Structure 1
Amino acid sequence: MEENSKVTPTEVKGWNWGAFMFNWMWGIGNKSYLPLLVFIPLFNIVWIFIVGAKGNEWAWENGDYKDVATFKAVQATWNRAGLVAFVVAIIGSLLYFMFIGIIMSLVVNSLSTSGY
């Protein structure tokens, strides 16, 4: 059994979609409180990317995982949920902007044909 130490194994490092998308909730769930800095306006735009990149390392250092496999299994759930949330957010944003574009186009066409 591999013991959790303060040295982060290389296989733990990497991007974490759960930390990126669910930053403050992920932080609390993983005993890592640096993600709470996302509540600072404007700073949070940059900080969410740092949390996504460094999240696994913080979770390993603050967690009590018995080995890397257990850690990866726990973070795999966060990663799946985060990736799904990211895809849904992108699709939702695209649909939103398409809808706004269509509405604005209809309004402009309506105004131009009514003589305003």
Structure 2
Amino acid sequence: MKNPSTPARIGQDIPVELQAFNWAAFLGNWLWAIHHGIWVAFVPCLLLLIGVMTGFPPLICISLVFTILTPFALGLYGNAWAWKKRGYYSSPDIFLEQQRQWKRNIFIIFASILFNEWTWKKKYYWSFPDIFLEQQRQWRRNIFIIFFASIVVIVFYYLNFSSMVKIPIQIASKEEEIVQYLGDSIVKSKYLGKISCEWNDRGKRIESHFTVKGTRNEGDLHMIIFMNDDNIIVKKLLLEDLDGNVIYNRTNFYYQYKGVFV
């Protein structure tokens, strides 16, 4: 068991099995980057935005070059960046299994898009230019809808079903006084809440604040945790009733978590 006062650094050597080309990162591009916290993938978008706002054409050209190169960079170095950035995977096998799931899902999406494109071309495109253009406008609308819907789904997932919600509830469920007040089967009771994450060279800091309920009562759970590998140091665990009265307060204790943090 590791000493929680001296957590391991996450900037460790990359396991050999993670040094292969990552097709999930290559094809998933910004979706994969958002999930794994690889914000360097959005540098081309930032450069393009600055170039458009300042009216500086060379910067726009540079952003387009970076846009072309970004998928290849993610494919070549995505595993290393994700492994270092998210240092809480308990083993390379768990990391690779998650990447295989990403690859399967992305290939299904791309196959569906290509099949639809091929079908329409065979039937209509070359004979009816107006139908072709109308279909392209529909594609453009659908892409914008999917883009914004994806953002909504990602935010909804992280606020309700991610490990950043599950782990605080797991920790709270181990505290006898909290269970006595809330009851059994503690769950998040409202869709909204506040969750913030910060990475540094020692691990990940998570602060969460949301309403929970059990079989007896409801309360506001506020927790600050530091995570590295499978080790969690709970800096603050505070439970208040809905009127703001403190029910339980505990600080600086150790908790061990097994599983994939997503």
Structure-2-length-normalised TM-score? 0.34
More moved, 49-58 vs 87-96 = 87-96
Instruction: Give unmatched runs, 5+ long, in structure 2.
Output: 1-7, 49-62, 130-262
CA contact (8 A) 1:19 1:82 kept: no
More moved, 3-12 vs 45-54 = 3-12
How far 1:45 moved relative to its partner? 2.2
Change in Cα spacing, 1:82 to 1:17, as seen in structure 2 (3 Å) is farther
1:84 corresponds, among 108, 121, 126, to 108
1:107: which partner in 2?
none
1:101: which partner in 2?
126
Give % identity. Answer: 25
How big is each residue's C-alpha offset from its partner over 1:44-68, in whole Å with a ceiling of 9 and x where there is no partner?
1232222223212211121121111
Change in Cα spacing, 1:45 to 1:90, as seen in structure 2 (3 Å) is farther
* Separation (CA, whole Å) in 2 of partners of 1:38 and 1:83: 24
Q: State the number of aligned residues.
A: 102
More strand by share: 2
Tell me the amino acid that sits aligned with residue 114 of structure 2: I
Instruction: Give unmatched runs, 5+ long, in structure 1.
Output: 105-116
Change in Cα spacing, 1:45 to 1:6, as seen in structure 2 (3 Å) is same
How far 1:92 moved relative to its partner? 3.2
1:46 corresponds, among 64, 69, 74, to 69
More helix by share: 1
* Separation (CA, whole Å) in 1 of partners of 2:44 and 2:19: 21
Task: Name the larger-Rg structure.
Answer: 2
How far 1:91 moved relative to its partner? 2.4
How big is each residue's C-alpha offset from its partner over 1:89-113, in whole Å with a ceiling of 9 and x where there is no partner?
3323333444312325xxxxxxxxx
Q: Is 1:20–2:4 an aligned residue pair?
A: no
Q: RMSD between aligned alpha carbons? A: 2.5
